[in-house]
């Protein structure tokens, strides 16, 4: 039955990559939707009545991620490599899983049937329910996932296994409403990896808890500033007994920083970050500027280790659809956009807006330090720009985020009789992964941190690694001869 839902509901999303114009430096390339060594999906849902499929593909024709070794380099051996998935629940607890991909392979992981994820959704378990709040829906089976390529020798990946420069993964998330057979998809967020020794080389060595103990590479950053490019106000038209009800649901994850700035003291993908009883502030400490269709705005602040909730609960100051003014612009927030108002012959405009989300949380300020100086060593939030990369102060970078907005239309019948609960039928579901701001990675202009990223050296201050990580792993002319052998002493 689930196969029928999957085949019937699969949607193809074509993503156009915007071209950047103006002055261009090495950080200007747009790496959105490119194969990577690390992928992050900010939301999955296997709560009652929902299922999620993770669709992963290995786009290389020769890199094996199936746990077998293969000849590479000059009379060397590469592998065994596998794909590691770390699932984070709303409580910050986590559980991991391993999947295998042969060259050119594609896998569909049904989280609702997967024994690892479906078996830990009870209270107190990794993906179990939590107390609902303004930032978290609290429903069982919800969370996010951090995926990376690892060197794994035990048949399955361990938390301690090293990360590898194999920029060969692409991924899609498919969320299905089981009752109505309505589905939506969104692309995972890629983070390219670079190893000091080159293709298929080691990026990070981990301790048994998954924390970094040695960095010999880094992963691309995720932006600390995201944009919801468009949302429609939640709610139902006033005085409507029969009508459509619109809902907007925002999910934000704040992944491990991945040593992107080259300081050698970052968080490794998949490690524990920001436990509720841990040090420091939440992973997400956001100031959100919400704009309506008339350029008026309000500012809303919220903080959490993970965000997944309706806009109406996350931002109570954001009025529901019936409160959006129909008059042409000039009224106070929120006002409907004037363009659709004019084109509709004077009819009310659309209750549409956009959101600017800026994270003030500092990477490593929320993470229990690991051994040595390679994993968040004793960072102090009072550290200054000049000592962000001195011994004992951690990364000092604004923590990046990955997000997705899910919007739904439901047919809601509101009974005129007292005490009769409304009935809802889901009609449509859409998902849009959020846009990011790369401007902090552009040097110059007299700006300072956090408006300007601080890196170990200007040469390392890249938002994109597209011009740095060569693509022999997926290029048509690439071959195993280009790779760094795993048996050369670098692993594990």
Quick: pLDDT tens for 414-424.
666 676 666 67
Gyration radius of the chain over CA positions: 23
pLDDT at 465: 87
| pLDDT above 80 (res 461) | no
| pLDDT tens for each residue of 18-49 | 222 222 233 333 457 899 999 999 999 999 99
Token digits of residue 331 = 């009224």
pLDDT at 107: 97
CA 206/CA 10 separation, integer angstroms:
37
The structural domains of the chain, with segments of one domain joined by +, span 2-483
In the DSSP assignment, the letter for residue 286 is E
359 has which bridge partners?
A: 286
Token digits of residue 361 = 């949380």
| pLDDT above 50 (res 50) | yes
CA 17/CA 148 separation, integer angstroms:
23
Q: Confidence class of residue 314 from pLDDT cuts 50, 70 and 90?
A: very high
Token digits of residue 202 = 């080691």
CA 463/CA 146 separation, integer angstroms:
19
pLDDT at 266: 84
pLDDT at 368: 74
pLDDT at 23: 27
Reported as half-sphere exposure (CB side, CA atoms, 13 A), residue 438 has a value of 17
| Among the listed residues 389, 386, 387, 369, the one whose alpha carbon sits nearest the alpha carbon of residue 378 | 369
- Helix (H/G/I), strand (E/B), else coil: 458: helix
Between residues 5 and 136, the one the model is more confident about: 136
H-helix segments, 37-119:
115-118
| pLDDT tens for each residue of 255-278 | 998 988 888 888 899 998 865 445
pLDDT at 291: 95
Q: What percent of the chain has pLDDT over 70?
A: 78
| pLDDT above 70 (res 470) | yes
Helix (H) / strand (E) element for 183: namely strand 182-187
Q: Confidence class of residue 297 from pLDDT cuts 50, 70 and 90?
A: very high
Mean pLDDT of 53-81: 94
CB neighbour list of residue 445: distance below 8 Å, 6 or more residues apart:
452
Q: Confidence class of residue 395 from pLDDT cuts 50, 70 and 90?
A: low
H-helix segments, 291-419:
311-314, 338-343
């Amino acid at each position: 039955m689930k196969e029928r839902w999957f085949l019937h509901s699969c949607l193809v999303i074509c993503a156009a990559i915007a071209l950047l114009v103006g002055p261009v430096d090495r950080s200007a390339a747009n790496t959105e939707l490119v194969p990577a060594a690390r992928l992050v999906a900010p939301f999955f849902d296997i709560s009652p009545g929902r299922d999620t499929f993770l669709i992963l593909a290995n786009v290389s024709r020769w890199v094996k991620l199936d746990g077998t070794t293969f000849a590479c380099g000059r009379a060397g051996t590469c592998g065994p490599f596998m794909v590691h998935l770390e699932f984070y629940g709303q409580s910050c607890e986590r559980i991991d899983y391993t999947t295998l991909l042969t060259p050119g392979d594609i896998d569909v992981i049904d989280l609702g049937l997967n024994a690892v994820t479906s078996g830990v959704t009870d209270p107190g378990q990794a993906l179990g329910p939590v107390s609902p709040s303004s930032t978290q829906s609290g429903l069982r089976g919800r969370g996010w996932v951090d995926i990376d390529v690892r060197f794994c020798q035990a048949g399955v990946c361990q938390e301690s296994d090293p990360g590898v420069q194999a920029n060969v993964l692409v991924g899609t998330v498919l969320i299905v409403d089981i009752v109505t057979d309505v589905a939506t998809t969104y692309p995972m967020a890629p983070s390219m990896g670079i190893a000091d020794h080159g293709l298929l080389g080691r990026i990070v060595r981990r301790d048994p808890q998954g924390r970094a103990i040695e960095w010999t590479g880094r992963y691309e950053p995720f932006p600390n500033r995201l944009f919801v490019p468009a949302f429609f106000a939640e709610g139902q038209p006033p005085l409507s007994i029969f009508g459509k009800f619109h809902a907007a649901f925002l999910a934000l994850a704040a992944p491990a920083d991945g040593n992107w700035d080259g300081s050698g003291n970052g968080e490794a993908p998949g490690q524990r970050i920001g436990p509720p009883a841990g040090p420091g502030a939440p992973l997400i400490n956001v100031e959100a500027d919400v704009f309506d269709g008339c350029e008026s705005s309000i500012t809303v602040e919220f903080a959490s280790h993970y965000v997944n909730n309706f806009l109406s609960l996350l931002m109570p100051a954001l009025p529901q659809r019936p409160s959006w003014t129909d008059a042409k612009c000039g009224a106070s927030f929120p006002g409907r956009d004037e363009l659709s108002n004019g084109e509709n012959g004077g009819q009310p405009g659309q209750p549409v807006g956009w959101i600017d989300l800026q994270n003030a949380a500092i990477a490593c300020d929320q993470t229990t330090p690991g051994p040595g100086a390679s994993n968040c060593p004793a960072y102090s939030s009072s550290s200054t720009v000049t000592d962000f990369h001195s011994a004992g102060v951690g990364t000092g970078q604004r923590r990046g985020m990955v997000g997705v907005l899910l919007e739904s239309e439901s047919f809601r019948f509101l009974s005129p009789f007292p005490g009769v609960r409304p009935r809802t039928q889901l009609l449509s579901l859409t998902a849009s992964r959020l846009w990011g701001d790369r401007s902090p990675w552009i040097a110059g202009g007299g700006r300072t941190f956090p408006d300007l990223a601080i890196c170990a050296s200007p040469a390392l201050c890249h938002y994109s690694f597209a011009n740095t990580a060569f693509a022999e792993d997926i290029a048509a002319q690439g071959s195993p001869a280009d790779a760094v052998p795993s048996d050369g002493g670098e692993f594990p």
